[in-house]
Structure 1
Amino acid sequence: MPGETAPVGLTLALGRLRALGAKGLRVALPIAGHPLGLSGPPEFNARALDAGEAVIVTGVALGLVPEVFQAGPEGDVHSEVVWRSVPVREAPPADVPSLGEAERELAEALREATEVLSRLNVAGAGPAAQAALEAYRARAGRGREVLAPGYPPRALRVLELAQRVGALIEIAHGAGAGAGEHGAAVSASEIAARAEALRPVERTARRAQVAAYNAYVEELERGGS
């Protein structure tokens, strides 16, 4: 927190942000070459890229970046997350679509992901791919609540579809399989081809997730304008 010399608890930190004028929180999910949801300056962007995620506070020129620490003896290690506040530039976040755009893009991404899976013979990738697909279907069938109450229904649809696309991507990459297994790929060139084919689909899914997570604060800002 600004002016703080020692960490404070999350509840107190959120209260102080509210006192400073915070109106909401936006999620950013950047990766190298894609500063998704970031607005600068370079110091904040670099920290967020290292973490792979960040939160931008609307109404206050601050961003929050997580740092994960592990402590404890072997066999009893616990993790602690400290959120560092860093000044940010008050500007539109990079490459975040509207919910409508995200929904349209996801429909095409789902078709592309399915085509890639079929073309690269992921359907015949063996028990690991099938187990991953069944695990995803089981999670989806439990009717889990993926967003807090108050989000627009479209945000829920977009997030669920983005997660479905993400599950297909994980299966295509051999997620959950043994070391060195990438679906049905049997050569380095096939693995590279698969990654290249799925890269734009993965980008679309990540953009849609950020759009869905940030939909609540976007709606609040529209209502207050």
Structure 2
Amino acid sequence: MLDEPRSGRLASWGNALLAGLVSPDEAAHRIADDDAVHRVEGLPGESSPVGLTLALGRLRALGAVGLRVALPVPGHPLGLCGPPDFNARALESEEAVLTVGAGLGLVPDVYEAGPEGGSGPDVHVEVVWHCLPVREGPPADVPSLGEAERELAEALREATEALSSLDVAGSGPVAQAALEAYRARAEAGRQVLAPGYPPRAVRVLELAQRVGALVDIARQAGGDGEHGGAVSASEIAARAEALRPVERTARRAQVAAYNAAVEERERRG
């Protein structure tokens, strides 16, 4: 969770575009970020994949008035509302965007080319968003911003305690590198959400990303891959058990924050 989900960028800047707060070109630029190319395939009325600018315009013409995020994992279909085919694809990618008003959803496939272990400009990234029918309905297990903020405060305490009790707080070169990368990004003054989001959503998303960073650092601490410095099956199990509810809370809060623009608009009628 150290990386911002592409579905979050698409929903955030897509919502700003639909609200008339940014231009189509700016929205497309912000969504793509450092990726080389984004295309959308399967859009009704389009026989081949199209770029983001055209795709967002087409979604608006098809009735989309907002975009929501889903960040599901096996056993937790967070933000999804069906049908099964779409849910299965979203679970495979662990993220998706659902339109409000158009009955369509978008799931990304990410293709990378470049030297093994490369990053930044050395890696060419292309993203293809697959457009599929979705049900219109309440998304699964998404809290309100207020609920998310309260849950996050407790989760942050739990994450800190878990790292300390497992003796992995900031240990190992991988954990240190991850922590420095997170701090550098946070200090760069990046725009967490597009225009049109309430300040509370920005606050909740920043805290959710901080908690997610702690979870990633705990998993990587010690430099031994997914299970960090754990050297026994019992230690691996203890770490996973301690971090699972914290990571779940952080994902729920991220979805609440990204969806806040739609929820705010619906409350106002």
TM-score by length of structure 1 reads: 0.89
Indicate if the aligned counterparts of 1:39 and 1:88 stay in contact, CA closer than 8 A: yes
Query: How many residues end up aligned between the 2 structures?
Result: 223
- The answer for the alignment partner of 1:209 in structure 2 is 254
Aligned counterpart in structure 2 of residue 7 of structure 1, from 45, 49, 56: 49
TM-score by length of structure 2 reads: 0.76
Measured in 2, the distance between the counterparts of 1:63 and 1:183 equals 36
SS at match of 1:117: helix
Indicate if the aligned counterparts of 1:124 and 1:184 stay in contact, CA closer than 8 A: no
- The answer for the alignment partner of 1:44 in structure 2 is 86
* 2:260 is the alignment partner of 1:218: no
What pairs up with 1:5-154 in 2 under 5 angstroms? 5-70=47-112, 78-123=124-169, 125-154=171-200
Identity, % of aligned pairs?
81
SS at match of 1:122: coil
Q: What's the offset of the Cα at 1:137?
A: 3.0
Deviates more, 1:4-13 or 1:134-143: 134-143
Indicate if the aligned counterparts of 2:178 and 2:217 stay in contact, CA closer than 8 A: yes
* 2:235 is the alignment partner of 1:193: no
Indicate if the aligned counterparts of 2:169 and 2:218 stay in contact, CA closer than 8 A: no
- The answer for the alignment partner of 2:22 in structure 1 is none
CA gap of 1:131–1:9, structure 2 versus 1, over 3 A, is closer
Measured in 2, the distance between the counterparts of 1:221 and 1:203 equals 26
Query: Deviations 1:166-197 (Å, cap 9, x if unpaired)?
Result: 1111111116x534474442222201210111
Q: What's the offset of the Cα at 1:77?
A: 6.7
Indicate if the aligned counterparts of 2:145 and 2:200 stay in contact, CA closer than 8 A: yes
Q: What's the offset of the Cα at 1:25?
A: 0.7
RMSD: 2.4
CA gap of 1:25–1:189, structure 2 versus 1, over 3 A, is same
Q: Which amino acid is the alignment partner of residue 238 of structure 2?
A: A
Which has the higher Rg, Structure 1 or Structure 2? 1
Q: Which amino acid is the alignment partner of residue 79 of structure 1?
A: V
Q: What's the offset of the Cα at 1:5?
A: 2.2
Query: Deviations 1:76-97 (Å, cap 9, x if unpaired)?
Result: 8733222121111111000110
Q: Which amino acid is the alignment partner of residue 186 of structure 1?
A: V
Measured in 2, the distance between the counterparts of 1:203 and 1:92 equals 19
Deviates more, 1:62-71 or 1:36-45: 62-71
Query: Deviations 1:126-185 (Å, cap 9, x if unpaired)?
Result: 44434433443333333332111221110011011101111111111116x534474442
Indicate if the aligned counterparts of 2:175 and 2:223 stay in contact, CA closer than 8 A: no
What are structure 2's unaligned runs of at least 5 residues?
Answer: 1-42
- The answer for the alignment partner of 2:207 in structure 1 is 161
Measured in 1, the distance between the counterparts of 2:112 and 2:172 equals 36
Indicate if the aligned counterparts of 1:120 and 1:184 stay in contact, CA closer than 8 A: no
Measured in 2, the distance between the counterparts of 1:70 and 1:8 equals 19
Q: What's the offset of the Cα at 1:70?
A: 5.0
